[in-house]
Amino acid sequence: MDNSSYFSLGATLYTPCNHPNLQTIMSNGLGSKSMVFCTEDAVPEHELEHSIGNLRSSIKKLSQDKATFKRFIRPRTPSLLAEIMQFDGIENIDGFVLPKYDLSTCDDYHRVLKHSPIYFEIMPTLESLDVMEPLKLPKIRESLKNIKGEVICLRIGGNDLFNILGIKRMPNQTIYDTPLRMIIENLIINFRPYGYELSAPVFDMMDDQETLNKELALDVNYGFFGKTAIHPKQVSIIEGFFKNYSISHIEQADSVFKEYAPAVYRMNGQMMEVTCHSNWAKRTISLANSF
């Protein structure tokens, strides 16, 4: 897994492919470090054909110059992924988000990606019923080895998981105040120790910055250093939080790798242990380097 790409994602802003200014947004971005151009849940069925045409023409007009942000496409299905991969200019896209990645869809995604001459960056999304069955998670993890491309992170589809449970987020509620907390913890335990990073679910209350900040504090406590954004005004809040976190903790992180650092020492009121804090320190340094 390419961890360096994960730490450069920041706030991943989603934009539907039926957007009237898609070509301009795809070329110039909206200020985030990464964007996903979506043909899945964000596009109604009756606008799908128009959205695909809009996406095709927008990709064709992209400059070959390296963009200042990462660009991903979220196809609706594996068959649409195969179609999109044939678009002129597709080499100027960084990669793909694979929706509803699970044991029933993974083989179809693998077959499509196998035939691509380009190694794209890939972000499978965990958002189906399989995610709620703990015994299936190791099988999903094993399936990731068959993806042609760099799996830079796994995205957690919070709203799809809410839908399966028949609930939605309520005002003033972080995702950790909901039943999804247990699912998130299972995903962390089953994937991160094996080298797979995860991105935090979306916060869909667009006017509640106070609760967003509370959720971000819990996100980083859970080790999430990337998060889905659904509105441009969330971007600076999310990326600013990650940047401030790295600034606040970089001294401790650097201290773990200092030559002749004692095995155990006190710093900023905390007992630091070189062997126990090394993975946290590596991830924190990688986050800091991305800014």
Domain ranges, ordered by start, for the chain: 5-248
When the pLDDT of each residue in the chain is averaged and rounded to a whole number, the result is 96
pLDDT of residue 67: 85
Residue 177 annotated as lining a ligand binding site: no
Q: How confident is the model at residue 226 (pLDDT cuts 50, 70, 90)?
A: very high
User: How do residues 126-140 score in pLDDT, each as one tens digit?
Assistant: 999 999 999 999 999
Q: Give residue 147's identity as a one-letter amino acid code.
A: I
| Residue 76 labeled ligand binder | no
Q: Which residue did the predictor score with more confidence, 4 or 118?
A: 118
Q: In terms of residues, how long is the chain? A: 291
Predicted TM-score (pTM) of this structure:
0.94
Local confidence band at 288 (pLDDT 50, 70, 90 cut-offs): very high
Mean pLDDT lowest among 62-76, 179-193, 220-234:
62-76
Alpha helices in the chain (DSSP H): 3-7, 22-28, 48-60, 78-84, 106-114, 137-143, 158-165, 180-191, 209-221, 232-256, 274-289
pLDDT reported for residue 113:
97
Confidence band for 184, pLDDT divided at 50, 70 and 90: very high
Q: Which structure tokens are listed for 165?
A: 């449970």
pLDDT of residue 3: 63
The predicted pLDDT at position 64 comes to 81
Position 42 scores a pLDDT of 85
Determine the average pLDDT of the residues in 208-213.
97
Q: Are 108 and 73 in contact (CB under 8 A)?
A: no
The partner residues of 229 in beta bridges, in order of sequence, read 13
What is the distance between the alpha carbons of residues 6 and 82, in angstroms, rounded to a whole number? 24
Degrees (nearest 5) of the Cα angle 116, 118, 124?
75
Fold of 5-248: TIM Barrel (3.20.20)
- Give the pLDDT band of residue 1 (cuts 50, 70, 90): low
CA 3 to chain centre: 12
Q: Could you tell me the maximum CA-CA distance found in the chain, to the nearest angstrom? A: 64
Using 50, 70 and 90 to split pLDDT, how confident is the model at 80?
A: very high
CA distances from 195 to 55, 122, 139, 216 (A): 33, 15, 15, 22
The answer to whether residue 2 scores a pLDDT higher than 60 is no
- Tell whether 133 is in a known binding site: yes
Q: Cα(78)–Cα(60) distance, rounded to whole angstroms?
A: 21
